[in-house]
Amino acid sequence: MNNILSLHHQTFESIRQIGDGGREFWSARQLAVALEYVDFRNFLGVVDKAKVACSQSGSVVADHFVDVNEMVTIGSGGQREVSDIRLSRYACYLIVQNGDPTKPVIANGQTYFAVQTRRQELADEEDFLQTLNEDQLRVVLRHQLKQHNKQLVEAAQQAGVITGAEFAIFQNHGYQGLYGGLDAKGIHEKKGLKANQTILDHMGSTELAANLFRATQAEDKLRREQIKGKHNANQTHYAVGKKVRQTIEEIGGTMPEELPTPATSVKVLEKTVGKKLSDESSK
């Protein structure tokens, strides 16, 4: 099975092409053959479904499905013009998602294009983050942390952390691991924050990034190891936080409780910086 998986992945990679401007694409006709569609017309039905999914996702179909005419060699040695579609990686991903999942090549295609699409997303995100100043980076990281905290709540609930009070205890264990024993109240006092000020809104980008790593890794560990029970969930969160702290120490970083507290909260920045980021992303 692994040999088949590797072979299919090599096939998808081998038919990837680079067009003008360095943009990659796949030929619909070549992809149809790779996905074992004998009749190209049947494959076009899957392409149409993928176009609908593309539109429903809010993407511009023409950016991912480009109609072209190509010259191909025929049996007599001559050439004739045939219609084709240049597909982006995302288009290929949508196509295999709408293909027949009982076919091993389709299932492997789903894995290949899902992984490759995510890799590109991460690369694009890294490039994007490198263009931001400190205030912009704080807004972006705080938004990401909000989203991942929601997922952490879900993972904790599956482990048995149910009530708000139980989750507060669970969250404190993560903080205590990362902040050398300080819980939320201790962090408030250390940073001189008021009771109504949210800790995460008064962190710089370095501290937010450390907490984002804590949250994502704690969620992943809870789910991956199928942790059960409030006590075990709490200890897991503490261990992850402590490991992040240990990593910071090993690379010579500043402990999170010693990092400076920005004068402006993220909530204030969101009203100005956040709007600019939204405007930029919509261009």
- Encode pLDDT of 187-216 as tens digits: 999 999 988 899 999 999 999 999 999 999
Quick check: 252 pLDDT over 70? yes
Quick check: 5 pLDDT over 70? no
Q: Which residue has the higher pLDDT, 206 or 81?
A: 206
Q: What is the mean pLDDT of residues 219-236?
A: 94
Cα Rg of the chain (Å, integer): 25
pLDDT at position 166:
96
Give the span between the Cα atoms of 260 and 134, in whole angstroms. 13
Give the span between the Cα atoms of 197 and 146, in whole angstroms. 16
Report field, pTM of the whole predicted structure over 0.75: no
Quick check: 238 pLDDT over 90? yes
Q: In 28-99, where do the E strands start and end?
A: 65-73, 79-87
Quick check: 282 pLDDT over 50? no
> How confident is the model over 123-144, as pLDDT tens digits?
665 665 666 788 888 888 898 8
pLDDT at position 283:
43
| Mean of per-residue pLDDT scores for the chain | 85
Q: What is the mean pLDDT of residues 234-263?
A: 93
Structure tokens at 88: 């982006």
pLDDT at position 275:
53
Give the span between the Cα atoms of 242 and 49, in whole angstroms. 47
pLDDT at position 126:
63
> How confident is the model over 86-122, as pLDDT tens digits?
999 889 888 988 887 777 777 777 767 776 666 666 6
pLDDT at position 177:
97
Quick check: 157 pLDDT over 50? yes
> How confident is the model over 39-78, as pLDDT tens digits?
999 999 999 999 998 898 888 999 999 999 887 676 666 7
In one-letter notation, the amino acid at residue 260 is P
Q: What is the mean pLDDT of residues 1-14?
A: 53
* Least confident segment among 74-78, 172-176, 251-255: 74-78
pLDDT at position 130:
66
Give the span between the Cα atoms of 91 and 113, in whole angstroms. 9
CA dihedral sign of residues 75, 76, 79, 81: negative
Return the SS3 of 72. Answer: strand
pLDDT band at 271 (very low <50, low <70, confident <90, very high): confident
In one-letter notation, the amino acid at residue 113 is F
Structure tokens at 193: 């924050």
Structure tokens at 179: 């902040």
Give the span between the Cα atoms of 193 and 191, in whole angstroms. 6
